[in-house]
Structure 1
Amino acid sequence: MQPKPEQERAPVAEAAIDASLLPKGYPKKVWTQDGGAVVVATGQEGGCSKVHAELAEQTADHVKVVLVEETPEPPGMCTMDLRYPPVAVQLDAPLDARKVVLEQRDVKVPR
């Protein structure tokens, strides 16, 4: 799912984001689109890795979004840069007053 242009974003307040499961220094910017039915977060990737978002849980009081960074194994020659692409998940119902819980996971993928 591709995020929409910036003018169609509705920022999620910092108080409505639980980023305690993210590594120190990881981006914590979150917004909604499509009337709150899509949650978009800023991911982090670098070198040969790529990030995507997975919707892990939806309850009456929160949604949990896992930011998955896939790194090729075995590693090859990669640049030493960091990128912060937006990644999106589709909800069953608009976010409304629910909290967004962010988690990050690293996985190795075959080259």
Structure 2
Amino acid sequence: MKRLGTVVGAGVLLLLASACANQQESQDNAGGDTRPTETSAPAQEQPDRQPARTPPSGGEKVTTGQIDSTALSKNYPVMVWTEDDGMTVGVVAQEGGCGKASVENAETEKQVTVTMIETTPKAPQACTMDLRYPKLTTELKAPLGDRKVVLKNVERKS
């Protein structure tokens, strides 16, 4: 008998919830068009290109044969480009939560070492659990030319 009361009570609640939902739906559709609407971006705007796979407009991608990424952490994005006739090297860095990405470079006649740095706060704090891939650039003293680009990444505390 007790079980029957529980089943009947649950059925009444379900009936009431469904009646309220139908009433709200009727009010929403009462005075307007019920056809679904479609939204889109204006025709002149292009969607953002994949940040870790394409250089920015005007950038020239450096070939994979010219890049040494063996010192990077696993799954770190690898994309290098040049701008300003090879005087600027760009990379895709990685940062997350409270981290902030930056780059440093060191040049020799044969190679340019680009170190991507993620700086995080020393003191523990609540941070989001997201990853971001900012495109960063660094100025060179001489055009990149045929020099090798060596990529490294480090974490620092501020």
Q: Same fold (TM over 0.5)?
A: yes
- Equivalent residue runs for 1:10-21 within 5 Å: 10-21=60-71
Deviates further, 24-33 or 5-14: 5-14
SS class of match (2:151) = strand
1:31 equivalent in structure 2: 81
2:132 equivalent in structure 1: 83
1:46-80 per-residue CA deviation (whole Å, 9 max, x = no partner) reads 0000110001x211111001001000111211110
TM-score with structure 1 length normalisation?
0.90
The structure in which a higher percent of residues are helix is 2
What is the CA–CA distance in structure 1 between the aligned matches of 2:110 and 2:90, rounded to whole Å? 18
What is the CA–CA distance in structure 1 between the aligned matches of 2:151 and 2:127, rounded to whole Å? 27
SS class of match (1:104) = strand
Letter in 2 for 1:102: L
Among 123, 139, 143, the alignment partner of 1:94 is: 143
What is the CA–CA distance in structure 1 between the aligned matches of 2:57 and 2:136, rounded to whole Å? 16
The Cα RMSD (Å) is 1.0
What is the CA–CA distance in structure 2 between the aligned matches of 1:51 and 1:14, rounded to whole Å? 23
Among 102, 110, 114, the alignment partner of 1:52 is: 102
2:14 equivalent in structure 1: none
Task: Pick 1 or 2: higher relative contact order, CA cutoff 8 A, min separation 6.
Answer: 1
Q: Which has the larger radius of gyration?
A: 2
- How many corresponding residue pairs? 104
What is the CA–CA distance in structure 2 between the aligned matches of 1:65 and 1:86, rounded to whole Å? 13
For structure 1, the 5+ residue unaligned runs are none
SS class of match (1:54) = strand
The structure in which a higher percent of residues are strand is 1
For structure 2, the 5+ residue unaligned runs are 1-54
Using the aligned pairs only, state the percent identity. 44
1:6-56 per-residue CA deviation (whole Å, 9 max, x = no partner) reads 22100000111000110000011000001100000000000000110001x
SS class of match (2:144) = coil
